[in-house]
Amino acid sequence: MSDALPRVPVNLVTGFLGVGKTTALMHLLAGKPAGEYWAVVVNEFGEVGIDGATLSTGADELRVAEVPGGCICCTTSPMLRVSLTRLLRERRPDRLLIEPSGLGHPAGIVDLLRDPMLAKAFELRGVITLLDPAHVGDARYTGHETWRDQLQLADVVVLNKCDRADIAQIDAARALLAGLYPPKLAQCETSQGRFDAALLDIELYPERWPEVALPASSQHRTIAPRQRRSQPESGPEVVASWPVQKMQSSLGSHSCGWIFPAECQFFSGALASLFESLSESAVLGLAGLSRAKGVFQTERDWYRFDWVDGYPGVQVSAYRRDSRCELIVDAEKAPDWGAFEAALLAAVMNKNCLCNA
């Protein structure tokens, strides 16, 4: 895993059983750039590998590695690490696609790819999750932890099988996605697993680059290209420092949000104390606080923190793109967010991550 070689871009294509992941991969492989060598790691729950055989049929410039009969999502499982190392040794691919089992928790794969050794060779890009609109109103799916985790983890959600869904089901899926926090970078509606391959390289931190900022409201969000990260050629390059801060005021409400890089870790105890202190909003100068929420990577796990109606709450989260937090205050005048920001920064374990551009 030499540092001299460019890192291999990696995408996860996730979704529950039967949602159309393999079909989507077949379309991606059929449209891959001519001359590029791609690799696919397929993880099936059963012992008999069907998806791998399907993807391999008639495929040129393609390597398919199957991991049947076990879940590669568990960070304690060596199977994925072994498969990735073998792929690099055999022939370094131009892109790697990973299709976890529909019953797997893909957050473990993200954690593994961010392992310092593997991160030298692989660059994690957009996580694509396929969703069947017909599942949104079915408690067998919505009540399943893995189904919910796959949506939390997604950078991009592809509503698939829309040709089989009715208008009410599609509207319900749109409403579900619109209510997710953090919001998805993009979503699209399709059938037969077809979606724009440019979504594989969607900009994961559009907030850092004003010129590629996504529209505030759109069901089909613009794809932010990875290469547009600077001002026009005549001007200096502009790179936002961490954390990125976003503020907004309208209709008597004021919000402020902070975004930290994925590698940033927080002390879980400090975050818990901070959210508990929000019940005494005057201490932080946040009179009129109506809502606080955030997703953070801590020394223990990734957690979703909430504060509403005076009560804090916390639960494990599958989200992995970045750590972020947002407060909403109902008041005539925007508050001074400084005290809360100082407490938030004090909770950061590895402050060196804030210096990375």
Query: Regarding beta strands 289-297 and 186-189, do their DSSP bridges make them parallel or antiparallel, or are they unpaired?
Result: unpaired
Residue 200 has which token pair?
């594989």
| Dist. CA 242–CA 332, nearest whole Å | 29
| Dist. CA 241–CA 298, nearest whole Å | 21
Domains 8-202 and 244-355 alike in fold: no
Q: pTM of the full predicted structure? A: 0.86
CATH 3.20.20.70 fits 244-355, yes or no: no
* Pick from 252, 301, 237, 247: nearest CA to 272: 301
CATH number of 8-202: 3.40.50.300
| Dist. CA 60–CA 34, nearest whole Å | 10
- How far is residue 133 from each of residues 167, 170, 295, measured CA to CA in Å? 10, 5, 26
Residue ranges of the alpha helices (H) in 224-296?
Answer: 268-277
Sequence ranges of the domains in the chain: 8-202, 244-355
Over its length of 357 residues, how does the chain's per-residue pLDDT go in tens digits?
545 789 999 999 999 988 999 899 999 998 999 999 999 988 754 333 434 444 455 455 677 876 655 555 554 467 788 888 988 998 899 999 999 877 777 898 999 999 999 999 999 999 999 999 999 999 999 999 999 999 999 999 999 999 999 999 999 999 999 999 999 999 999 999 999 999 999 999 988 876 544 444 334 444 444 444 444 444 445 556 899 999 999 888 999 999 999 999 999 999 999 999 999 867 799 999 999 999 999 999 999 999 998 899 999 999 999 999 999 999 989 999 999 999 999 999 999 988 755
